[in-house]
A and B are shown apart, each in its own frame.
Chain A
Amino acid sequence: MTSTAGNAPAIPAPGFSDATRDAQRAFRAILDALSHPTQRYPLNGPAHPPAALGSGLAAVALTVLDEDSTVWLGGALDDREVAAWLDFHTGARRVGAASADFVFAAPASLPALGSLRLGTDEAPHLSTTAVLDVRGCQGMGSFTAEGPGINGSTTFNAPWADGRFAEQWRANTAVFPRGVDLLLVDADEISALPRTTRLAPAPTDGQEAEQCTSR
């Protein structure tokens, strides 16, 4: 593969060091996270991922993406190095956010959930999975969560949640079985909110904040 311009490296950095084993481990972390909403699971990615992507998002990308899937990259993730790396390792086709199987974005660049693919009543699985980059988020968002995968109810801190999230998520759960599923990916951890998780804002002392270092 040859570089044509700019800072795209001639050969993208390596993917998983052991494609079979590492993808299996990462998949189990994703499956665990979706099966136990709000709980955090360790996620190990490649040693030298593109800087904008980071290890956690890179692990998810290598595990779920291939030439049979479509992806949209938001904000700072939409850079040449990330695109070249994903092309090389996954072959996933890049499409608009409204039609992508997977949307990778930081909170600030995530399109409104309702604008993503929600599936249909007959085919609710044909919906978008939003993979949210939550590295370095320090907001005050906190929720009480309940639904399948949660034993009773649990408190859930969501430092990545901005002011519009609670209402968007309420709307997302209201259209069940349609709806998007959310993977929340930190540098080396993952948690998730499937469309079945109901959230009620928990009272917080602080003011609304939405600081995430990634964009």
Chain B
Amino acid sequence: MSTALPGYNVGYLDEQTKRMIRRALLKAVAIPGFQVPFASREVPMPRGWGTGGVQVTASIIGGDDVLKVIDQGADDTTNAVSIRSFFAKVTGASTTTCTEDATIIQTRHRIPEAVLREGQIMVYQVPIPEPLRFLEPREAETRRMHALEEYGLIYVKLYEDIAKYGHIATTYAYPVMVNGRYLMDPSPTPSFDNPKLHQSPALHLYGAGREKRIYAVPPYTDVVSLGFEDHPFEPQRFEQPCAVCGSTGVYLDEIITDDAGGVMYACSDTDHCERAAALASAHIDDLEEARA
């Protein structure tokens, strides 16, 4: 076999496994935010690939698709590059780093800064799908709580944060209510990206391989981050602009610049940053031309 990953079947999943995942995906879309159990394949995978996300992508992708893969916000990490080239090889799909051009975007952390459009599909590699897990370890019990819409405990936890820190301290896996019914973990995204899910024109599919769950947020669906009247949800904010492209209102990574503890802040979304930087320098060229 000639792919970069010896030992993997062409197409990665057999047709029967794909059908099983596809049936689960259809239920997930029909019941927004509900975690559909599926028989995740026990396949050895390189670390960081996210078996759930890869299985979802493998079940939906075809030769007409344009795939983008991001790890944190970057297209160029080892994981992102190998997942992308793997799917290009086994499915004939083309790949891109450009958010606008992609039909499928697999991510293990961020939702891109560019506004998503109808027809695009986000695929999330989810580590822990159950938002109630850290409050209630028993699976049978969390299933019952979802059935009864018994979500009081999670509000108590958030309120304890407020009592302790004066604000809600959760910045990752910040829980949301989907379509006014199901409590959902939008993990692995930071709370900065939560507002992008609300009434998003794109379809969002979540795959948790180890925990064998698939869930979804259809397009144009209400996704509300939990909050209180006196302490409403507030996504993370970054005060400074990106040191590379100058964008504001974007998610920034802290980058250590020297041994003396120097830091700078730059876009985590590398595609956005490159485009914004190119635009900014074109603008400077225009200004200089006008001045000459």
Contacts and interface: CB of A to CB of B under 8 A. Distances in A.
B147 A181 contact: no
Interface stretch (A31-39, A79-87, A204-212): A31-39
A122 B31 CA distance: 12
Contacts of A19: 15
Given A34-B218, A194-B30, 13 more contacts: A20-B11, A25-B62, A27-B18, A31-B29, A36-B118, A63-B19, A101-B23, A125-B31, A125-B37, A148-B179, A148-B218, A177-B182, A196-B179
Interface string A151-183: 110000000000000000000000011000100
Contacts of A177: 31, 34, 181-182
Contact of A151 (B18, B144, B201): B201
B63 A148 contact: no
Interface in A13-35: 19-21, 23-25, 27-28, 30-31, 34-35
- Of the listed residues B19, B30, B143, the one surrounded by the most CB atoms of chain A closer than 10 A to its CB is B30
Contacts of A176: 181
19 contacts: A21-B62, A24-B61, A25-B62, A27-B59, A27-B60, A28-B62, A30-B26, A35-B203, A64-B22, A68-B16, A125-B36, A127-B27, A148-B32, A148-B220, A149-B218, A149-B220, A152-B220, A196-B32, A196-B179
B80 interface: no
Instruction: Give the interface size class of chain B.
Output: 35 or more
Nearest to B144: A122
A129 B29 CA distance: 13
A66 B16 contact: yes
Nearest to A91: B16
B32 to A, nearest CB: 5
B60 A28 contact: yes
Interface in B162-181: 179, 181
B16 A121 contact: no
B219 interface: yes
Nearest to A178: B31
Contact of A31 (B31, B60, B181): B60
Contacts of B28: 125
A107 B231 CA distance: 51
B25 interface: yes
B219 A63 contact: no
B43 interface: no
A150 interface: yes
Given A27-B22, A148-B218, A149-B218, A125 B34 contact: yes
- Of the listed residues A27, A121, A123, A148, the one surrounded by the most CB atoms of chain B closer than 10 A to its CB is A148
B282 to A, nearest CB: 34
A101 B22 CA distance: 14
A68 B15 contact: no
- Of the listed residues A20, A64, A65, A127, the one surrounded by the most CB atoms of chain B closer than 10 A to its CB is A20
A69 interface: yes
Nearest to B23: A64
B114 interface: no
B34 A129 contact: no
B5 interface: no
Contacts of A66: 16, 19
B292 interface: no
A124 B62 CA distance: 29
Contact of B148 (A36, A121, A148, A149): A121
B45 to A, nearest CB: 21
Interface in B112-140: 118
A90 to B, nearest CB: 9
B85 interface: no
A24 B19 CA distance: 10
A19 B18 CA distance: 12
B147 A122 contact: yes
Contact of B15 (A23, A120, A121, A125): A23
B247 interface: no
Contacts of A117: none
Given A31-B26, A35-B29, A20 B15 contact: yes
A135 interface: no
A68 B20 contact: yes
A34 B26 contact: yes
A44 to B, nearest CB: 12
A139 B124 CA distance: 42
B40 to A, nearest CB: 15
A122 B26 contact: no
Contacts of A122: 143-144, 146-147
Nearest to A193: B30
Contacts of A129: 26
A36 B219 CA distance: 7
